[in-house]
Structures are given as structure tokens and as C-alpha cells.
Amino acid sequence: MPKIIAQTGDDAVAEAMRQINPDVVVAYPITPQTEIVQYFSEFVAQGKVKTEFNCVESEHSAMSACIGASAAGGRVMTATSSQGLAYMWEVVYIAASYRLPIVMPVVNRALSGPINIHCDHSDTMGARDSGWIQIFSENVQESYDNTIQAVRIAEHKGVLLPVMVTLDGFIISHAMERFEMLDDEIVQRFIGEYKSEHSLLNTGHPVTYGPLQLFDYYMEQKRQQHEVMKFVPGVVLEVAKDFEKVSKRKYGLFEEYKMDDADFGIVVLGSTAGTAKTVVDKLRDDGLRVGLLKVRLFRPFPAAEIANSLSHLKAVAVLDRSDTFGGLGGPLFEEVCASLFNYQFPEGLRIPVVNYIYGLGGRDINLDHIKKVYADLSEIVQTGKIKELVQYLGVRE
Amino acid sequence: MPEEKGWKDMPRGGMILEPGNARKYETGSWRTLKPVMDPNKCIHCMFCWIYCPESAIIVKDKKMSGFDLEHCKGCGICAKECPKEAIEMLIEEK
Ligand code: SF4
Ligand code: SF4
């Protein structure tokens, strides 16, 4: 029987890691991820996991050790945030290019500078092109569920890629919420055993990971990384289906909230989806047909599916919790625009899409901010005009 | 050089699955200078064998007995390290 308990996001992720019982965890603490590793280290001390747990001197070392352990054939996890992710940068790319199924919860926190410890998505957005799979969570439950599913996705024979599971710093990581924890045996059965095809420890069949590839092979390697991403959405859905059987909770590539008959809607990532759903319900009570699309799988970006889901709307707003400074708008905005431009578009139809940058460095986003976004969309639908393509929510002029 | 594979045939992540295949990589083609050993000077101290970065010193019956020219890249380290100046680097004639 699943246990219903109140826990913080960091607690819940640590519990998921306990149930996964990885062979190796190597980590370095950073706010607001610290508690994940702290709680997990208690499980190690209490003998509740068999994990080889290593505290190293930096995130660069943490990811390097994870790469070694994963190439050796272990089931490997770590966790980080913000500067920690930035510090492990060069090895983050290497984990993906070696095709190592490492699972890493990332507690989203703004990148310096100026120095800040609160939530935004600039850290994981920076790693969006690193070749990792990225799955965003809305609340404590999803952070827990996604961490468990990530193991299966990463280790799938047709995938073998590292996965970041993100949860919003403090908003999810430190807020206590009701959450359902599966039984340990169910999680163990769900993830199954991991058997690496090419272990560095297999002296009977020695292999080389990561040889030098210059102009002769580098491009083929990158082409392969591009291709494997195409298999990921199918695997994410397959794993979600199996997960539903054990948890009764449904997951997809994204979540559509009251989208079927919506006239206009917003696209959003992470915890803000929860706030926005409340606004959707309120506006629906007032008779406005509004909807919401919450992206779960950000890398690979399910472009065709999202374009299809939005294609009946008269206007779309994309909410970004990070900026690109010199790009068209926020990173999610750019993805949505590119998707709409390229896929499933009834001929001649153009949907106006606008962008709102919000919540940088933990700036609050409240119901009124989101109401304003829907009000703007309503105006765009009525006038057929976009006043401002990219706006900031909750910033002082 | 073995034929270059396309991305579909390449092992996942560019992994090398065949042990010891560096032997197939003939670094000897890089050479512009060629080491030549004078058997009258050589005392078989094995300095050249230790220092050669390509394992290109051939040893037979515990004696230095020449160079594996398929892999010797002509770097001249052996000549530099030889205590008896028994190795001379000569222009490679192709
Ligand atoms: S270093 Fe010189 S003397 Fe020593 S084995 Fe080599 S060639 Fe002979
Ligand atoms: S020239 Fe360089 S590669 Fe050739 S045998 Fe001497 S040390 Fe080895």
C-alpha cells in the first residue's frame, strides 16, 4: 500500500533514491539541493541502502566520478543545483556523449551573478543542449515520480542517456506537501535490475569509453546523439504507462489542462503550472475558455505534439523562468514558436504567441500576474494585435 | 587506415569494442626521420625501450634488435636518451 505522508521535495527525492538504491552516489552539497544528499547520507549511515556513497570536493569531481562509476557498469545518481551544475559543465556533456544512464535531480536555482539562491530555470536551461534528457516537475509528487521513472528511461536499451529531473528550488524542494510514496518493493520491481552492456570492469572484454574523435568521427558521434533523442518520447510514454499501473498516476510528454475547448492558453514549466491552474479554474468560472499546457519533457522537446495541442488556440502565451539575453525571448518561448512554425499547422493560419519572463531569482509569481497574462491574451484575440512580444512579470520599472 | 564507419554503424557513444586495436593505427606513416641503431655501440641497456612512446623498439632474447617501423613515428626520443649515442636519426627516404 502506498503511504500518504507530508514531505518536502528534497525529502521525497531522497526517499526515491533510497528506494532506487543505486550502486553509486557521488555528490557535493549546494543550496537548495543539500537536503537531498543529506537525507540520502542518513539512509547510507543507517544501512538502508547498499550504495557506495562518496562525498567529493566539487561538482566537477562528482560528475567525473559518476561517469567512471557508470562506465564501470553501476546504476549511478547524483544531484545538484545552479552553480554546482555550472561547475560540472564540461563533464555534463561528456556523460551524454558516452551515453551513460546517470540520473540527476537538479533543484532549480538562479545562476550567479548576482549571487542568489532562489528558484529560476537558468541552470538547467543552460544545459539544454548538453545531450541530457530533461524532465520538469510541478510539485513534490511529480519530483518523486519523475525520479523513479527517470531510472527506467535512462537505462532503456534504446536510449542509454543521462536524465535530469528538475524541481523548483525552495518552492518544491523546501515546501512540505501531501505526497504518496510507493512501497519499496514496488519501486524495486518497477525499475528492475540494471545490467550494463559494456562494463569497464569486464576484463574479459575490455572496451574504451570516450576515445579521441577528430574530424574523422566527431560528427558521426554527434549525429548519433541527435538520432537517439528521437526515441526518447516513445520511451517516456511507455515508462509512464507502466508507472500508471503501479501508482494510478498518469504522465505524458506534457499535461493539457482544460485545453480541449480553450480559446487561448499558456505554456509553462514547473511549479508555476500549479498556480496557473488555479487561475484557469477561476477564469473558467467567469465563463472564459482558457487552458494551460505544462511541459514535462523539455529535452527532447516534443515539438510536433505540442504544436498539435496548441493548434486550435487563437492566442498563446509562453511563461519563461529564465531569459536568453539577446535571443528572441525565453528558451521555452523559442521552442514553442519554432514548433508552431514547423508542425501541424493548418494552411495560412498564424497563431499569435507572446512571451512573459517571470520569477527570476525566486521573484514571486502570483495569481494576479497570471490573470494579467490571460487578460492580455483576451485582448490579442479581440484586437488581433500584439502590443509587446516579450514582457516581464513582476519587475519594477 | 581501416574504412571509416557511418554514424549508423558506429558503436554507441563512439566506444571502442575491440581491445588492442591501436596496433592497426600505423603511426609509422607520420615519420620524416628514421632511427638507425649501430650494433657496435649498443650495450642493450633498454633505455630506448623504456622511453619509446610507441612501443616500437623490438627486443629479442633480451637484446635491442631494431625498430618496428610500422609504428615508429620518428620522434627521436630513443636517440636522445641512448647513453651510448648508438641511435642516429636519418632522413626518411620514401
Ligand atoms: S638506449 Fe642505446 S644502448 Fe641502450 S638499448 Fe637502446 S640503442 Fe642500445
Ligand atoms: S624514434 Fe620515437 S617512435 Fe621511433 S623508435 Fe625512437 S622513440 Fe620510438
Q: What is the pLDDT of residue A32?
A: 98
Nearest to A198 among B6, B10, B15 (CB): B15
The answer to whether residue B19 is domain-embedded is no
pLDDT at residue A239 tops 90 = yes
H/E stretch holding A294 reads strand A290-295
Residue of B nearest to A208 (CA): B16
Q: What is the pLDDT of residues A339-367, one digit of tens each?
A: 998 886 666 678 999 999 999 999 999 99
Q: What is the pLDDT of residue B93?
A: 79
Nearest atom in ligand 1 to the alpha carbon of residue B41 is 3
> Which of B51, B80, B84 to mutate to test ligand 1, by most ligand atoms within 8 A of the CB atom?
B84
ipTM for this prediction: 0.86
Taking contacts as CB-CB distances below 8 angstroms, the residues of chain A near B24 are: none
Could you tell me which residues of chain A have a Cβ less than 8 Å from any Cβ in chain B?
97-100, 160, 198, 205-211, 213, 216-217, 220-221, 223-224, 227
The answer to whether residue B46 is domain-embedded is yes
Mean pLDDT, chain A, as a whole number?
97
What is the pLDDT averaged over residues B35-64?
97
Taking contacts as CB-CB distances below 8 angstroms, the residues of chain A near B13 are: 97-100, 160, 209-210, 221, 224
Q: What is the pLDDT of residue A318?
A: 98
Nearest CA among A136, A392, A153, A394 for reference residue A274:
A136
The reply to whether ligand 2 has any atom less than 6 angstroms from the CB of B78 is: yes
CATH classification of A254-392 is 2.60.120.560, yes or no?
A: no
Q: What is the pLDDT of residues A251-270, one digit of tens each?
A: 999 999 999 999 999 999 99
For ligand 2, the distance from its centroid to the CA atom of residue B17, given in whole angstroms, is 28
* Ligand minimally distant from the alpha carbon of residue B56: 2
Contact B6 A221 (CB under 8 A): no
Q: pLDDT grade, residue B3 (50/70/90)?
A: confident
What is the tally of structural domains in chain B?
A: 1
DSSP for A114-168? Answer: S---S--SHHHHHTTTSS-EEEE-SSHHHHHHHHHHHHHHHH-TTT---EEEEEE
What are the CA-CA distances from residue A159 to residues A16, A24, A101, A224, B22 (Å)? 22, 21, 8, 11, 29
Residue A225's CB is within 10 A of a number of other CB atoms, namely 18
The answer to whether domain A3-247 and domain A254-392 are alike in fold is: yes
What is the pLDDT averaged over residues A217-232?
97
Q: What is the pLDDT of residue A343?
A: 83
Domain positions in chain A? 3-247, 254-392
Write the CATH number for B86. 3.30.70.20
Nearest atom in ligand 1 to the alpha carbon of residue B64 is 5
Q: What is the pLDDT of residue B22?
A: 85
pLDDT at residue B47 tops 90 = yes
CATH classification of A3-247 is 3.40.50.970, yes or no?
A: yes
Q: Alpha carbon B51 to chain centroid distance?
A: 11
Taking contacts as CB-CB distances below 8 angstroms, the residues of chain B near A209 are: 13, 15
What is the pLDDT averaged over residues B1-28?
89
Q: What is the pLDDT of residues A24-83, one digit of tens each?
A: 999 999 999 999 999 999 999 999 999 999 999 999 999 999 999 999 999 999 999 999
* Ligand minimally distant from the alpha carbon of residue B86: 1
Q: pLDDT grade, residue A167 (50/70/90)?
A: very high
Q: What is the pLDDT of residues B67-87, one digit of tens each?
A: 999 999 999 999 999 999 999
Q: Which residues pair with A107 in a beta bridge?
A: A167
Q: What is the pLDDT of residue A346?
A: 62
The reply to whether ligand 1 has any atom less than 6 angstroms from the CB of B45 is: yes
3-state DSSP assignment of residue A288:
coil
The answer to whether residue B18 is domain-embedded is no
pLDDT at residue A190 tops 60 = yes
Q: What is the pLDDT of residue A353?
A: 97
- Separation in Å, CA of A159 to nearest CA in chain B: 10
The reply to whether ligand 1 has any atom less than 6 angstroms from the CB of B79 is: no
Give the cell for residue A105: 535531480
Q: What is the pLDDT of residue A350?
A: 85
- Separation in Å, CA of A335 to nearest CA in chain B: 27
Taking contacts as CB-CB distances below 8 angstroms, the residues of chain B near A223 are: 7
Residue A94's CB is within 10 A of a number of other CB atoms, namely 19
Q: What is the pLDDT of residue A344?
A: 61
Taking contacts as CB-CB distances below 8 angstroms, the residues of chain B near A94 are: none
CA angle A362-A365-A367, nearest 5°? 160
Q: What is the pLDDT of residue B94?
A: 65
| % of chain A beyond a pLDDT of 90 | 97
| % of chain A beyond a pLDDT of 70 | 98
Q: What is the pLDDT of residues A277-304, one digit of tens each?
A: 999 999 999 999 999 999 999 999 999 9
The reply to whether ligand 1 has any atom less than 6 angstroms from the CB of B77 is: no
* Ligand minimally distant from the alpha carbon of residue B81: 1
Residue B90: which domain range?
Answer: 37-94
Could you tell me which residues of chain B have a Cβ less than 8 Å from any Cβ in chain A?
4-7, 10, 12-17, 19
The answer to whether residue B67 is domain-embedded is yes
What is the pLDDT averaged over residues A217-225?
96
Q: What is the pLDDT of residues A95-113, one digit of tens each?
A: 999 999 999 999 999 999 9
Type of residue numbered A136: F
Nearest CA among B80, B40, B91 for reference residue B64:
B40
The answer to whether residue B93 is domain-embedded is yes
Q: What is the pLDDT of residue A347?
A: 67
Nearest atom in ligand 2 to the alpha carbon of residue B75 is 2
